[in-house]
A = this chain, B = another copy of it.
Amino acid sequence: MKGKFYGIGVGPGDPELITLKAINILHEIDMIVSPEARANKGSFAYEIAAPHLPENLEELTLVFPMIHDRDELEKKWKENAEIIAGEINKGKDVAFLTLGDPCVYSTYMYIVPHLQKLGVEIETIPGITSFCSVAAKMNLPLATWEETFGIVPLREGCESAEKALDSFDNVVIMKPSHDNALLAEKLEERGLADKFVMISKCSTEEQIVTRDINDLKGEKVPYLSTIIVKRKGF
């Protein structure tokens, strides 16, 4: 009998911010896949899940390169999906770990279509997103009443972020380090320099919180940072 594939959100960093469902599944599966950006570079998702993993669980580390060539990526995902499907066809239940939530900007979602084509049964277990974690740390609503909120990954040029800042009440900007200095300018242009908060490495021991626009202009914005902008202020 074929096994099943689980995509598991492990949450934003604190090993306690994982769901009971995820923990229960991690105790029932036969194999865990942990994605690495480069071979032997380790995986943050794996570190978060580690305290919940039973001993002697079979591990499969697959490299999901962070490159821009879409064709190369598709090829790599298909290859990885075939490796996973091979294990599932042997009867193993396999879990793929993903930081935060599997449906929000995760590598997991790129292999799902390939696995579906291969006839693999899939179940996705939601996780705590970085933006919910950040908002909770600050005791800050992402939205109340009739407010709208948008989620935008920052890319060079900040166009999507600008569009969001101009049309939504509250905006979550992910990965601000991609063009943080320009983003700081865009916030200043809109009179929003004092209406944002940035949290880096949220819910880990290295967490940093700042509302200083100069920090956003600087060169030391960590990759794992999230910004919440509230147009009406805090």
Interface residues in chain A, defined as those with a beta carbon under 8 Å from any beta carbon in chain B: 7, 9, 11, 14-21, 23-24, 101-106, 109-110, 112, 116, 122-129, 132-133, 135-137, 139-153, 155, 160, 163-164, 167-168
Contacts and interface: CB of A to CB of B under 8 A. Distances in A.
A94 B139 CA distance: 16
B135 A19 contact: no
A104 B132 contact: yes
A151 B160 contact: no
Q: What copy number does this chain have within its complex?
A: 2
A128 B19 contact: yes
Contacts of A163: 148, 167
Contact of A109 (B133, B144, B146, B164): B144
A213 to B, nearest CB: 23
B23 A141 contact: no
Given A19-B18, A132-B101, A150 B153 contact: no
Contacts of A112: 139
Contacts of A132: 9, 101, 103-104, 126-127, 129
20 contacts: A16-B19, A16-B21, A19-B128, A103-B132, A103-B136, A103-B143, A104-B142, A105-B145, A116-B139, A123-B139, A124-B139, A126-B128, A126-B132, A126-B135, A126-B136, A127-B132, A142-B151, A143-B153, A148-B152, A148-B163
